[in-house]
Each structure stands twice: as structure tokens, then as C-alpha cells.
Amino acid sequence: MKVSVREDGSALSHAPDNWHAVDWRRVERNVRGMQIRIAKATRESNWRRVKALQRMLTRTLSAKLYAVRRVTQNQGARTAGVDRELWDSPESRRQAVNRLTAYGYKPLPLRRAFIPKANGKERPLGIPTMRDRAMQALYLLALEPVSESTSDPNSYGFRLNRSTADAMSQIFLLLCREKSSQWVLEADIKGCFDYINHDWLENHVPMDRAILRKWLKAGLIYKGQLQATEAGTPQGGIISPTLANVTLNGLERELIAHFDAKFGIAKAKKLKVNVVRYADDFVITGDSKELLESEVRPWVEAFLAVRGLQLSEEKTRITHIDDGFDFLGWNFRKYSGKLLIKPSKKNAQAFYRKVADTISSNKTVKQEGLIRLLNPMLRGWAQYHSPVVAKQAYSRMEYLVFQRLWRWSKRRHPQKNAEWVKRKYFHSIGDRQWVFAAPIVQEGGSNGLFELYQISGTAIKRHKKMKGEFHPFDPTWEQYGEQLRQERQWESMRYRKQWATLYMSQGGLCAHCNCALTDETGWHDHHLEYRMHGGTDALSNRVLLHPHCHQQVHTGNIVVTKPVLS
């Protein structure tokens, strides 16, 4: 029996007795209904109503269930905080819901961790406990509609349904024409997450100030020592990217308004000042180098200073479009007046080092195992660059990877000649020669080949840019957002044709809970009749489920049926 939850969360005042009995479709609908009301009040600048609705949402059972599910399904679900607690069972998740209350809440310090960056340095992370993560996810549900309503139209980082490809497409539109801006200010904020002023956040972030202050002042533990946090919002917290976006919101709108007021709307338009931002990286176009140096950069520095931030001297520069600039892993440059966007050399080099390290650190694994490690990396890199001029970069990368794999193959058999090594590890498939592939036994006993992903076979396709005014919490944009989400999900699956077919046949919804399948939720391929019971791999016997739904189906012996679209 499914657990029903009213829109105001009053049907149940505590967590359900059975975690698997929650009606997640109803939960999502209740939360979204409240978020739409918050967004509407924000657009009307009715801040008293915004605050009241936010308070109401964070106290509803639906929001608490949604928050616990989010932090127990994402990639960090297996990473514990300083208390070493994980919510890895239905019972622990059910009990966690009742702990999400502001009364008496005191967050624990963050656990300090470091992850490597592309430039060889390390990025510091602050990992909250599971309870603190769930509290952040809960309050993020109330903050996100306000953040989306007040965001700049060309801000693309850490926002629903927006991506780096959208930012790239916007830059192309700004620079592709003959009379477009010729100069670009490439800007990078120095340690954005580490230096945001706490007082500014408390006074300007539209959420419960007491809760926010507790998170900001929670401190962190590194090498057994408690360290105070006097500034910044830690990378690693679920709400941190949105706090950073709220901090930088207005960079575009206020800059344009400043020029309109100073020069007049007509003259300001001729200066061609435009902003495209992704997280804490942004570019600003301008009609001349002097304009960017004397007018734009000082204004940006003053805008950031109020928030406790400053530009990075080593990464901030003014560039002519004929010389080109790098942004989000791409190089933007005009060749004889034609704008071409290509994978940047820095991005390609970093990716090659990653592939080379993977190959060199797996010298003794079976060929099939190495291919399984490499294929997601190769496919991901190739798909990321598929909207730009990347064929030459694809061919170059494929050649470099081939050289590494040839050395890997020869090293395993030092006593064998090159012809023997070639026959064992490289095969001919169709008109392609020297394909790195491992023999496998397919269903029915026939032999097949499990091949390395072909980078150069990735199709180049222009990205369909998200409309700048799109609002995910405005019902008038509902159909547009749903259509775009399905199109993009189809694109991410199109190299796995069977998954793409299943996704479209299910309308982009999980066959068990009828909630959306996204990159964030992930998906599992489920056989309706298990293979051990004689089921086949035919599409008629398979459906896509959320990972947690898949686990629930197996542990509860739940029968799933093939969905029929109306």
C-alpha cells in the first residue's frame, strides 16, 4: 500500500513505517507545487509570502522525504562525514526523516578532503555529515525557486537544465558575426568558494538566517584538528553551488544597467558589452580593449569586493578574438573572420594524461577489463566535445590512445613478435583495421568482440541552446522544459541505442515509480523475466528503473510491467 502525502504535508507528521511504500510520484508533485508558489511570490517581489512559503515547505513531510532520498542516491551517498554515519538501509533512511528539524539543530564540523585538479594542484572539499547534507538538501528545495527567479539570463553553472554547452552556444551567438565584439575579458574569481563574505551571505541569501549561519560557522576537521571557518562556503556541500550563484547573481543585469545609465541605452548597445557566466568563471565581451580595461574591469572588481571576492590576476586577461581564448575546455577563435570552437589544447592534454595513467596503472588486467575502464572515459570526452569542431582533435586523440594501447599490448608479451601481438589484441571490424577489441562469448554460445569506443566515430551535432529566460518553476515553461529534457537525455543515450529506445518508449519515466529518469538520478536496465528464469535480452523483456527502484524491486520481489504510453 502506498503512503499518501497531502500538499501541505499534514497527512503524516512522521516518517512512514515502510520506506519502500512511499509514493514518490506524489512526493515530487507536492514539493514542486510548493516551489512553483515560492517562485511566483518571488517574481511578484512578495518577500513576506516567500519567507512564509519557504518555512512551510521545509516543515512538510514530502520535502523531508525528498531530501533524504536525494542525499542517499547521489554519488556522495557512500562518503561519510566526521560522524562516519551512512544511511545505507531503508530503516536508517526512514528514521532520518524525523531528524530533519530546525529545533535544536546544530551541524557537525566538515571533514576536510582534497581532490586533484587538472593543473596538478588540489581542490579542498568540506564533506558534511549525512544529516547536515539532508538539511542542506531540504533548505535548497526552498531556496532554488528564489535563486532561479533572480538569476541572470546567461548564468549557466549549477542551474536546472543548463549546461556548459548552453554557455558555449551563447558565446558563439555573441561573437560569430562580422560586426560582433572583437575583445573579450576572460575572468576567473580567486578561490570563489573559499572567500565569500559570511555577513554578505547572511544579509542577502533569502533563506533562514539562523540555519545558514550555523552551516557557515560549523568549522572543519583536518588532521584531527578543528579549524574555524571565517569566510567562504565549502565545496562539497549540496547547497554551496547555489549559494555561490546567489552571490554572483546580478553581475550581468547590474553591469548592463550601469552602462545603460551612464551612456544611454542606444550608445550602451553599441559598446556590445555582454556577460556569459558558468559558476565562478565568466567572460565579458566589449567593443574595445580600452572599454574592458577602464570601464568593465573596475566595475567588476568593485562588484566582487562587496562580496569578499577578487579576480585572479594570473587567470584574468583581455584577449582579441583573433588570438582566441579558452573557456570551459574549448578554444574560441576567429580564423579569417570565421569563429571556430575547438577542444582546447589544455583540455586534450589533461584528458590524455588521465587515459595514459589508467592504462599504465592497469598493466595486468584482462583486455576486456581495460576496455570497460576506458570506454566511459572516451565516450564522455568525445560526447562533451561533439557540439564543436572536434574531428581533428578526435583523430589525434585516437592515435595517441592507440600508441599507448600498443605499448600496453607488447609489454605483456615481450617474447612474441609484433604480428602475434596484433592478432591477439587488434582486429578488423567491417572496414576498420587495428580495432582494440576482446573476444567474448555471447548469448547462445556465439563468439563476438567487445571493442574500444571509437572516438572518431562520434557524430558532430550543433547543440540546441536553452532559452535564456527559461524558468524551471514557471508552469508556462513546463512543456518546453520537459521536451528539452527528453531531447537531451536522448542525446546522452544515443550511443547506447537500446537504452535510448527504452527511454523513449517509457516517456523518460521510471517504469516503477513513474518519476523522471535523469543523469542525476541514473538508471538501471531491468529484466522483467529474469535471465536465470529463462528471460531474454529482447527489448520487450526490459525496462529502465532508477537505481533505488531497481534495488527495491529485487528485495521486495515486486512485479514490474511494461509501461504503456497513453
Question: pLDDT tens for residues 426-438?
Answer: 999 888 999 999 9
d(C-alpha 548, C-alpha 522), whole Å: 10
What is each CA distance from 355 to 254, 417, 424, in whole angstroms? 43, 26, 22
For 354-487, strand residue ranges (E) read 426-429, 432-441, 447-451
* Bridge partner residues of 451 (DSSP): 437
Burial 265-281 (b: 16+ CB within 10 A, else e): eeebeebbbbbbbbbbb
Sign of the four-CA dihedral 371, 377, 378, 383 = positive
What pLDDT, on the 0 to 100 scale, is given for residue 317? Answer: 94
Q: Which residue has the cell 613478435?
A: 417
d(C-alpha 39, C-alpha 471), whole Å: 9
| pTM for this prediction | 0.84
Q: Is beta strand 220-222 parallel, antiparallel or unpaired with respect to 524-527?
A: unpaired
* Cell numbers for 541: 523483456
What pLDDT, on the 0 to 100 scale, is given for residue 7? Answer: 44
What pLDDT, on the 0 to 100 scale, is given for residue 167? Answer: 95
What is each CA distance from 405 to 336, 374, 396, 428, in whole angstroms? 38, 11, 14, 16
What is each CA distance from 235 to 125, 163, 221, in whole angstroms? 5, 19, 14
Q: What is the mean pLDDT of residues 443-457?
A: 80
pLDDT, one tens digit per residue, over 95-154 is 999 999 999 999 999 998 888 776 667 777 888 999 999 999 999 999 999 999 999 999
* Distance, CA of 189 to chain centre: 20
| 11: confidence class by pLDDT, cuts 50, 70, 90 | very low
Asked if the model's pLDDT at residue 1 lies above 50, the reply is: no
Q: What is the mean pLDDT of residues 360-380?
A: 94
Q: Helix, strand, coil shares of the chain as percentages rounded to 5?
A: 45, 15, 35
Burial 401-422 (b: 16+ CB within 10 A, else e): beebbbebbeeeeeeeeeeebb
Q: State the amino acid at position 387 in one-letter form.
A: P
CB 81, CB 111: distance < 8 Å:
yes
- Give 538 or 178, the one with higher predicted confidence: 178
- Give 179 or 114, the one with higher predicted confidence: 179
Write the CB contacts of 93 (distance below 8 Å, at least 6 apart in sequence): 19, 68, 69, 72, 87
75 phi and psi, to 5 degrees? -65, -25
Asked if the model's pLDDT at residue 4 lies above 50, the reply is: no
* Cell numbers for 327: 573557456
| 332: confidence class by pLDDT, cuts 50, 70, 90 | very high
What is each CA distance from 478 to 153, 471, 518, 554, in whole angstroms? 18, 9, 16, 34
Q: Which residue has the cell 573572420?
A: 337
pLDDT, one tens digit per residue, over 453-471 is 999 999 999 988 888 888 8
139-142, Cβ contacts within 8 angstroms, sequence gap of 24 or more: 139/58, 139/207, 139/208, 139/211, 139/239, 140/238, 140/239, 140/242, 141/31, 141/35, 141/57, 141/58, 141/63, 141/66, 141/67, 142/35, 142/38, 142/53, 142/54, 142/57, 142/58, 142/63, 142/207
Q: Is beta strand 325-327 parallel, antiparallel or unpaired with respect to 317-320?
A: unpaired
Report the SS3 class of residue 337.
coil
- Give 247 or 22, the one with higher predicted confidence: 247
Q: DSSP assignment, residue 48? A: H
